[in-house]
Amino acid sequence: MKLWLFNRKGPSGFSASSTAEEVTDGIDGSGLTAIVTGATSGIGTETARVLALRGVHVVMGVRDIAAGKDVKETIVKEIPSAKVDAMELDLSSLASVRNFASEYNIQHHQLNILINNAGIMGTPFMLSKDNIELQFATNHLGHFLLTNLLLDTMKKTARKSGGEGRIINVSSEGHRLAYHEGIRFDKINDPSGYNGFRAYSQSKLANILHANELARRLKEDGVDITANSVHPGAIATNIIRHNSLFRSMNTILHALPGIAGKCLLKNVQQVILNFQKQRNKI
């Protein structure tokens, strides 16, 4: 039996144990198009699946195109009517981001929803192909550029459809644990003093600041697009694969007795609730 606190409903009418399917029940997303980055596992896969279940045309931005095709096949097998595409996108490469956005704008004429979900966490110090610290490059800069390159398409879609566009940055409560100066703009690529988790937190702080400023500008411009950042909750996905400490903590939490474990960790289906809580519509 789950604790009452875990099942308690909030203002949205849903609880922490509600699933994405429950939250989106009765919603018709037909005619909408969404991009989900990092859709080959975890939160990204479930987001793509549930959006497709509700009739949304989902374009998965994936680094491993073979894995993307496997996810697509799995979704279509479960949902024969699903509209799902996989396009190559390596967020650690600015050239790859530009190529993805260019190809998308050529192949597709609308974009209603952009979910910037892909990310890495706790990596040893490494540089991206553009010689930028890998976590900052992947988690923030890649998504920042992607959003900017797709923004005109989203604006045109919002004006033409009369519907509200959505931009969602998947951030983390971990943003509170960034370096003491916040984002170390002058030391992004400095290996001295590098801490894998603080660098991750720094990139998550950047996600939030990006969403906040973008929301302000969109409102100022009178554009019917919202920009938000979300904390998905405590969940174990393969984002922890780079750090042995996080993997050990995950093992301990999963070993806790039923009620305690369920109170500390969500499953992927429950996490997606955070993407829908603000409004009970797509």
Q: pLDDT band at 196, cuts 50/70/90?
A: very high
Between the CA of residue 48 and those of 105, 170, 249, 255, 266, what are the distances in Å?
20, 14, 28, 29, 18
Q: How far apart are the first and last CA of the chain?
A: 32
What are the pLDDT digits (tens) for 103-156? 999 999 899 999 999 999 999 999 999 999 999 999 999 999 999 999 999 999
Identify the active-site residue in 104, 179, 194, 200: 194
Contact in structure between 224 and 164 (CB atoms under 8 Å):
yes
pLDDT at 195 over 60: yes
Q: What is the pLDDT of the chain when averaged over all its residues?
A: 85
pLDDT at 250 over 70: no
pLDDT at 197: 92
In a domain, 9, yes or no: no
In a domain, 149, yes or no: yes
Q: What's the structural domain count of the chain?
A: 1
In a domain, 16, yes or no: no
Between the CA of residue 3 and those of 75, 104, 154, 248, 261, what are the distances in Å?
33, 45, 42, 25, 11
Question: Which residues make beta-bridge pairs with 38?
Answer: none
pLDDT at 282 over 50: no
Task: Give the residue from 22, 19, 85, 23 showing the smallest Cα distance to 52.
Answer: 85
pLDDT at 1: 43
What are the pLDDT digits (tens) for 31-58? 999 999 999 999 999 999 999 999 999 9
Q: pLDDT band at 6, cuts 50/70/90?
A: low
In a domain, 1, yes or no: no
Task: Give the residue from 105, 106, 117 showing the smallest Cα distance to 62.
Answer: 117
Report the alpha-carbon distance of residue 65 to residue 229 in Å, rounded.
27
Is the model more confident about 75 or about 7? 75
In a domain, 227, yes or no: yes
**Cβ-based neighbours of 138, under 8 Å, separated by 6 or more:** 91, 92, 118, 119, 120, 128, 203
pLDDT at 240: 46
**Cβ-based neighbours of 182, under 8 Å, separated by 6 or more:** 202, 205
Is the model more confident about 246 or about 76? 76
Domain span including residue 38: 26-262
pLDDT at 4: 52
pLDDT at 254 over 90: no
Report the alpha-carbon distance of residue 91 to residue 100 in Å, rounded.
10
pLDDT at 272 over 80: no
pLDDT at 194: 96
Supply the DSSP symbol for 84.
E
Task: Give the residue from 228, 146, 168, 241 showing the smallest Cα distance to 200.
Answer: 241
Task: Give the residue from 266, 251, 273 showing the smallest Cα distance to 6.
Answer: 266
In a domain, 3, yes or no: no
Contact in structure between 183 and 202 (CB atoms under 8 Å):
yes
CATH number at residue 80: 3.40.50.720
Supply the DSSP symbol for 133.
B
In a domain, 267, yes or no: no
Is the model more confident about 208 or about 282? 208
Phi, psi of 159 (to 5 degrees): -70, -40
pTM for this model (two decimals): 0.83
Q: pLDDT band at 210, cuts 50/70/90?
A: very high
pLDDT at 5 over 80: no
Would residue 179 show up in a list of annotated catalytic residues for this protein? Answer: no
Contact in structure between 101 and 146 (CB atoms under 8 Å):
yes
